[in-house]
Amino acid sequence: MTDNRITLEEAHRRFKEPLPKLTAIKCSVIAYALRAFIVVANYGLSLKEKIVTPATAPSLTKTYACRPKLSLRIFFPKSFDETTEENLPTVFTIHGGGFVMGDPRDDDHFNYTFANMHSVLVVALDYSKSPRVHFPTPIYDLESLILAALSDPSLPIDQDRVAIMGSSAGGNLALSVSLLPSMSGSGDGVRRIKTVVPMYPVVDMSVRREYKIQTRQWKPSFGGFRAKKTDMLFPLSPVFEAAYTLPGQDHHDPLLNPFYADKDKLPPYIFFLACELDMLAGESWRMICGLTGREIGDETVGREAIGPKGELILDDERYSFETKTKEGSYRWLLIPDQIHAYDKYENLVKLHGDRELSKDAELKLIEAQKVIGKWLFEGPFA
């Protein structure tokens, strides 16, 4: 087994290599098929919502002239009094889906719950999907929508308390858009985004998937889905990468891979959330260790032992720590015994069939949302 292991240096690719012709065709067909399936599924959901309003539906949806085909789903907390002139701390959220799949409504449950749990305004953003568009188009879609929302007098946004949160590919995009001059303040001197919460993000596509899977934690004592050495992302990652970037792409471009961003250009407040049984967890660990000056040590995050059901581990720095700086804070939270996209437990249980895994995810999601909110209101939203 160890004979087949590769080092991080061996796994690194500075530039994206072209795929063999047949492989490229196969990836393209799969990407278009996945995208078509999602479009049809979401059209069906939108029709259903017109008949029966879901319990976690947004308060309203909006579009802006800058991106008329991209809708925003906006969640007001129930505690908000529309007759007052009060502005609310605001969290922009960006859904995942490998830059190919996904839709803002995927995060309705998360966004609805977070808005009401912490009395914040949550604005779910959309962006153009691959393979119809490529990097960096989605980043500039998001920039335009954020600027439009921040300039919208009908939205009670507290301009001094704004964060971006994103999951998976959305976590990558959240970090990337925060680097743009209009967000970081390097353009007009106004830092509009000083807080980012990337959740189980991809931050370094320069590293081959074979390295990521070999450093992934796995727990054979669980049995079933969580005992597998592989990862549900492993077969899809070449499809997503082929769709999002073109051959020859420089993997050290920080807009593509925020791992390579200069520390002083990133927001001063960053909360990394990772899932222990996720092949992407290692790169988040490497990035936060780099930001905080910590030893990376073993890139296989967490531990082989099974943790307590439905609970986070907050007294072990492999799972939870915070490093405060003069300007901000770097926070790490590893969700024990959970897989990529754990917060989508209602959908994932249809794939893996493990109801114990799903129930554990539901309980840990609630606790994670509490931890994120506490960090926001003790730090950037204080």
The CATH number of 2-378, from 3.10.129.10, 3.40.50.1820, 3.40.605.10, 3.30.2230.10, is 3.40.50.1820
Per-residue pLDDT tens for 3-41? 588 999 999 999 999 999 999 999 999 999 999 999 999
Q: Which two tokens stand for residue 138?
A: 């989605």
Per-residue pLDDT tens for 51-74? 999 999 999 999 999 999 999 999
pLDDT for res 230: 83
Distances (CA, A) of 107 to 84, 139, 178: 28, 19, 20
Distance between CA atoms of 308 and 312, rounded to whole angstroms? 8
For residue 139, give the nearest of 253, 218, 295, 279 by alpha carbon: 253
Rounded to 10°, the helix 345-352/355-378 angle is 150
3-state secondary structure string across 143-197:
HHHHHHHHCCCCCCEEEEEEEEEEECHHHHHHHHHHCCHHHHCCCCCCCCCCEEE
Taking 70 as the pLDDT cut, the residues of the chain under it are 1-3
Beta-sheet strands, E only, within the chain:
60-64, 67-75, 88-94, 121-125, 157-167, 195-199, 269-277, 320-324, 329-339
Before 131, cis peptide (omega within 30)?
Answer: yes
Q: Which two tokens stand for residue 144?
A: 């335009």
pLDDT for res 339: 96
pLDDT for res 229: 80
- Report the predicted TM-score, pTM, of the whole model to 2 decimal places: 0.96
pLDDT for res 3: 58
pLDDT for res 1: 41
Distance between CA atoms of 129 and 144, rounded to whole angstroms? 16
With the CA atoms of 308, 312, 314 and 318 taken in that order, what torsion angle do they form, in degrees rounded to the nearest 10? 80
